[in-house]
């Protein structure tokens, strides 16, 4: 834009010079005047070449009166005319150059003023805007305003070039100018955000996402983006977790192990039960590894690059339960009925595994809940039991009891409610499509950072399910005045009885389950609710019918 504008002005200058050249009669005195004007232009602009040519032109004019020879007069007039044409051309060039230089100087000065005003704005916001700084700023701004106005009468910022309105929004003359009060910049107090509970400095500090320049809060990054996993070196060890008592699963498992060994020379781990079955079946499987006890199982995550599950959602839950700490990425093949967490088609295992082993793939980080049971009898003791970790949910229900459960619930130190009904589900977002859904909870995308609080058959008309933020700790207490007992279960397993005075404490575990996506987290989630639940499936209305 600026280039175009400069070129236009230069063009105008040339046109003007050309017009005067046409109008000027070829008289000697005029020619001298023209030449002197051109000479002075060049001297001012310091162009040595041009000044040199002016000297030769002067010499040519000085020669004119001394040569009154008829035959040579015409020649001299012709020569003088030629000199005049040359001089005019030189003047046009000089005028154009001078105009361009003046214009460039003007824009440079404007730019420097704008820069200075910006720097003062920034300085005053950081250090506090003193009156002195403000005065200086206003002075600079008004200077800029005046000069902008005189440089371009078309209005604030004009149509071309640097837009000072963008840089100095409050300083525009004309109809868009703001009031004097609005003109004051840097009045907002700077602040800092930090992470932690009630200002506790031990909390995890994330990157600052506050723009101090403007004092506004902005989310620089989305909290939980789609995550891509890319191997830095080729994976070498795969753990198979398979649904028991299924011949289809067993056949596929041995076929996949062979394929992985022969094509990728992978190390294979299987559960002790499966190892026995395979080795008994064929000595070919002697190379597969397993574990003998819990202690060995606890170190699995240090040896395994990838977990392959063959079964339904229950098998994914089972695989996750083998890892109380970090979990390797899970590639879940569907051999169940619904398959909310099993997106990979088992018939295409070669292609799917080939991709996962060699190419980057998207994962869903499925958060888990860790839960500790605090017995009333042992509440003063130091906690020794390891927490129980679930991928779907913790359920507290009335079990065999025919009485209502009576559960007091707290979120951090705040009282939430008393649950009187069949029970309560505290669910992860992955578990939102399981038991919690059946109890009336919302379906939540697995990457939403939240904890679901869903009552089971509450005896109250107004008890709607809640979704709480992932950073809270929930405590469910069986009060001493509870009529009955309560039972807790973890991903539908391991039921334990809770008596009056016992409590259950849950929070999000630092160890999520990374599950490989077939497409991406959202596509897989939507596919599972469409195909698994036939979500919102309805025959479309036909076009014919009553007019609106």
The catalytic residue positions are 313
d(CA 129, CA 188): 9
311 interacts with, out of ligand NAD, ligand ATP, none, CB within 5 to 8 A per kind: ligand ATP
What is the chain's length?
548
The first and second tokens of residue 409, run together, are: 């619930």
Asked if 128 is part of the footprint of ligand ATP (rule: CB under 6 A), the reply reads no
399 interacts with, out of ligand ATP, ligand NAD, none, CB within 5 to 8 A per kind: none
- Residue with Cβ nearer ligand ATP (26 or 244): 244
Rounded least distance, CB 512 to ligand ATP, Å? 20
- Sequence-distant (6+) residues with CB within 8 A of 519 are 343, 362, 527
The first and second tokens of residue 210, run together, are: 């506050």
Diameter over CA atoms, the chain: 138
Judged by CB under 6 A, the stretch of 70-78, 259-267, 332-340, 396-404 that binds ligand ATP is: 332-340
Rounded least distance, CB 437 to ligand NAD, Å? 7
Which bin fits 118, alpha (ψ -120 to 50), beta or left (φ > 0)? alpha
242 interacts with, out of ligand NAD, ligand ATP, none, CB within 5 to 8 A per kind: ligand ATP
Of the CA atoms within 13 Å of residue 333, those in its CB half-sphere come to: 25
Q: DSSP label at 539?
A: P
Q: How many CB atoms lie within 10 A of CB 72?
A: 11
Asked if 339 is part of the footprint of ligand ATP (rule: CB under 6 A), the reply reads yes
- Residue with Cβ nearer ligand ATP (161 or 336): 336
243 interacts with, out of ligand ATP, ligand NAD, none, CB within 5 to 8 A per kind: ligand ATP
- Residue with Cβ nearer ligand ATP (114 or 524): 524
Judged by CB under 6 A, the stretch of 326-334, 349-357, 430-438, 538-546 that binds ligand NAD is: 430-438
Give, in degrees to the nearest 5, the angle at Cα 223 between 221 and 229.
95
**Backbone torsions φ then ψ of 181, nearest 5 degrees:** -65, -40
Rounded least distance, CB 339 to ligand NAD, Å? 7
Does residue 328 contact residue 306 with C-beta atoms inside 8 Å? yes
Residue from the set 291, 435, 487, 525 that interacts with ligand NAD by CB under 6 A: 435
Residue from the set 338, 411, 466, 467 that interacts with ligand ATP by CB under 6 A: 338
431 interacts with, out of ligand ATP, ligand NAD, none, CB within 5 to 8 A per kind: ligand NAD
The footprint of ligand NAD on residues 480-499 (CB under 6 A) is 491-492
- Residue with Cβ nearer ligand NAD (140 or 332): 332
- Residue with Cβ nearer ligand NAD (271 or 491): 491
The first and second tokens of residue 196, run together, are: 């932690």
Asked if 431 is part of the footprint of ligand ATP (rule: CB under 6 A), the reply reads no
How many residues bind ligand NAD (CB under 6 A)? The answer is 19
Asked if 337 is part of the footprint of ligand ATP (rule: CB under 6 A), the reply reads yes
Asked if 434 is part of the footprint of ligand NAD (rule: CB under 6 A), the reply reads yes
Residue from the set 392, 429, 454, 482 that interacts with ligand NAD by CB under 6 A: 392
Asked if 423 is part of the footprint of ligand ATP (rule: CB under 6 A), the reply reads no
138 interacts with, out of ligand ATP, ligand NAD, none, CB within 5 to 8 A per kind: none
Residue from the set 312, 328, 421, 441 that interacts with ligand ATP by CB under 6 A: 312
The first and second tokens of residue 167, run together, are: 């840089």
**Backbone torsions φ then ψ of 124, nearest 5 degrees:** -70, -30
Residue indicated by tokens 């198979």: 240
247-264 vs 349-358: helix axis angle to the nearest 10? 50
- Sequence-distant (6+) residues with CB within 8 A of 346 are 252, 310, 333, 334, 335
Asked if 450 is part of the footprint of ligand NAD (rule: CB under 6 A), the reply reads no
Residue indicated by tokens 């051109």: 38
Rounded least distance, CB 431 to ligand NAD, Å? 5
d(CA 99, CA 108): 14
Asked if 311 is part of the footprint of ligand ATP (rule: CB under 6 A), the reply reads yes
The footprint of ligand NAD on residues 306-345 (CB under 6 A) is 312-314, 317, 336-338, 340-341
349 interacts with, out of ligand ATP, ligand NAD, none, CB within 5 to 8 A per kind: none
Does residue 476 contact residue 455 with C-beta atoms inside 8 Å? no
3-state secondary structure of 330: strand
Asked if 343 is part of the footprint of ligand ATP (rule: CB under 6 A), the reply reads no
Does residue 188 contact residue 195 with C-beta atoms inside 8 Å? no
**Residue 541: alpha-carbon gap to chain centroid:** 40
| Cα-based torsion angle of the residue sequence 202, 203, 208, 211 in order, rounded to the nearest 10 degrees | -100
Residue from the set 13, 328, 329, 431 that interacts with ligand NAD by CB under 6 A: 431
How many residues bind ligand ATP (CB under 6 A)? The answer is 16
487 interacts with, out of ligand ATP, ligand NAD, none, CB within 5 to 8 A per kind: none
3-state secondary structure of 322: coil
Strands (E), 232-348: 237-242, 267-270, 306-311, 330-334, 344-345
Nearest to 482 by CA among 378, 376, 395, 374: 376
The footprint of ligand ATP on residues 217-276 (CB under 6 A) is 241-244, 271
Judged by CB under 6 A, the stretch of 111-119, 205-213, 246-254, 426-434 that binds ligand NAD is: 426-434
Residue from the set 92, 430, 482, 515 that interacts with ligand NAD by CB under 6 A: 430
- Sequence-distant (6+) residues with CB within 8 A of 54 are 35, 38, 39, 42, 87, 90
Chain positions contacting ligand ATP, by CB under 6 A? 241-244, 271, 311-315, 317-318, 336-339
Chain positions contacting ligand NAD, by CB under 6 A? 312-314, 317, 336-338, 340-341, 392-393, 430-431, 433-435, 438, 491-492
């Amino acid at each position: 834009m600026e280039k175009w504008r400069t070129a236009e002005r230069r063009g105008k200058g040339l046109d003007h010079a050309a017009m005067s050249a046409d109008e000027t009669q070829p008289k000697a005195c005029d020619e001298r005047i023209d030449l002197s004007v051109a000479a002075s232009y060049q001297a001012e602009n310091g162009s040595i070449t041009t000044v040199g040519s002016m000297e030769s032109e002067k010499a040519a004019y000085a020669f004119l009166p001394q040569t009154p020879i008829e035959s040579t007069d015409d020649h001299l007039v012709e020569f003088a005319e030629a000199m005049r044409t040359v001089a005019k051309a030189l003047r046009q060039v000089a005028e154009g150059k001078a105009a361009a230089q003046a214009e460039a100087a003007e824009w440079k000065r404007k730019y420097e003023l704008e820069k200075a005003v910006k720097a003062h704005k920034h300085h005053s916001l950081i250090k506090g805007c003193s009156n002195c700084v403000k005065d200086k700023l206003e002075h600079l701004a008004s200077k800029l305003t005046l000069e902008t106005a005189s440089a371009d009468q078309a209005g604030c910022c004009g149509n071309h070039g640097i837009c000072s309105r963008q840089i100095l929004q409050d300083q525009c003359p004309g109809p868009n100018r703001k009031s004097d009060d609005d003109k004051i910049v840097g009045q907002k107090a700077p602040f800092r955000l930090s992470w932690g509970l009630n200002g506790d400095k031990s909390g995890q500090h994330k990157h600052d996402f506050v723009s101090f320049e403007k004092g506004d809060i902005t989310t620089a990054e989305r909290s939980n983006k789609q995550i891509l996993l890319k191997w830095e070196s080729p994976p070498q060890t795969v753990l198979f977790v398979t649904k028991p008592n299924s011949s289809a699963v067993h056949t596929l498992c041995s076929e996949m192990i062979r394929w992985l060994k022969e094509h990728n020379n992978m190390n294979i781990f299987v559960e002790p039960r499966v190892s026995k079955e395979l080795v008994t079946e064929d000595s070919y499987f002697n190379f597969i590894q397993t574990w003998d006890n819990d202690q060995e199982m606890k170190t699995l995550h240090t040896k395994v690059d990838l977990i392959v599950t063959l079964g339904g959602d229950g098998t994914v839950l089972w695989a996750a339960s083998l890892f109380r700490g970090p979990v390797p990425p899970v590639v879940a093949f569907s051999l169940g009925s619904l398959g909310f967490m099993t997106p990979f088609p088992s018939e295409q295992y070669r292609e799917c595994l080939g991709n996962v082993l060699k190419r980057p793939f998207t994962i869903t980080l499925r958060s888990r809940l860790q839960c500790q049971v605090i017995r009333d009898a042992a509440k003063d003791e130091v906690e020794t039991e390891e927490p129980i970790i679930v991928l779907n949910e913790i359920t507290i229900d009335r079990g065999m009891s025919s009485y209502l459960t009576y559960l007091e619930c707290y979120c951090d130190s705040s009282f939430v409610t008393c649950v009187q009904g069949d029970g309560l589900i505290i669910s992860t977002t992955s578990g939102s499509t399981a038991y919690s859904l059946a109890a009336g909870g919302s379906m939540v995308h697995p990457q939403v950072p939240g904890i679901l609080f869903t009552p089971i058959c509450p005896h109250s008309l107004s008890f709607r399910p809640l979704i709480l933020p992932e950073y809270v700790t929930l405590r469910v207490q069986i009060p001493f005045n509870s009529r009955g007992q309560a039972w807790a279960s973890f991903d539908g397993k391991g039921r334990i009885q809770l008596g009056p005075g016992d409590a259950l404490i849950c929070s999000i575990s630092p160890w999520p389950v990374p599950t490989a996506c077939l497409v991406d987290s959202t596509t897989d989630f939507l596919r599972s609710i469409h195909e698994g639940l036939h979500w919102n499936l309805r025959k479309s209305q036909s076009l014919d019918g009553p007019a609106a």
